Amino acid sequence: MAIAIRIQFKTPGRDDLHIPVAAQGAYHTVWLPASERLSLKWVPLFENGPTLDVKEMVEVMDELQKLRAMLAGDSKNAWLLERIEFILDELSEVDWDEVSEIFVG
């Protein structure tokens, strides 16, 4: 199983944006422990499948930036840093006024 962010848009017929976050194993061994050390609110809930609103995505993006900063000092985390960068890049291109629903899980 895997964790992903799915964004649905208001425009009829527009494809959902699907952003892969992490494989289940990596989420449990790396993402969760790191997010708990940082006392993050949203990242630990990703596995539970929360539906978020646009305002909460600002918090999620902030948490991802904090996670990236914490993991940046260790070269063995290069793959994870690339994934976080990819997620942040994808999210930064979203027109949030066009979003109807955000699901993580």
Q: pLDDT, tens digit, for every residue of 86-103?
A: 999 999 999 999 999 999
Q: pLDDT, tens digit, for every residue of 20-66?
A: 999 999 999 999 999 999 999 999 999 899 999 999 999 999 999 99
Q: What is the spatial distance between Cα 52 and Cα 60, in angstroms, rounded to a whole number?
A: 9
**Which pTM does this prediction carry?**
0.91
Q: Which domain holds residue 24?
A: 2-104
The per-residue pLDDT for 75 is: 85
Q: What is the spatial distance between Cα 105 and Cα 51, in angstroms, rounded to a whole number?
A: 9
- Containing 64, the helix (H) or strand (E) segment is helix 54-71
Number of domains forming the structure of the chain? 1
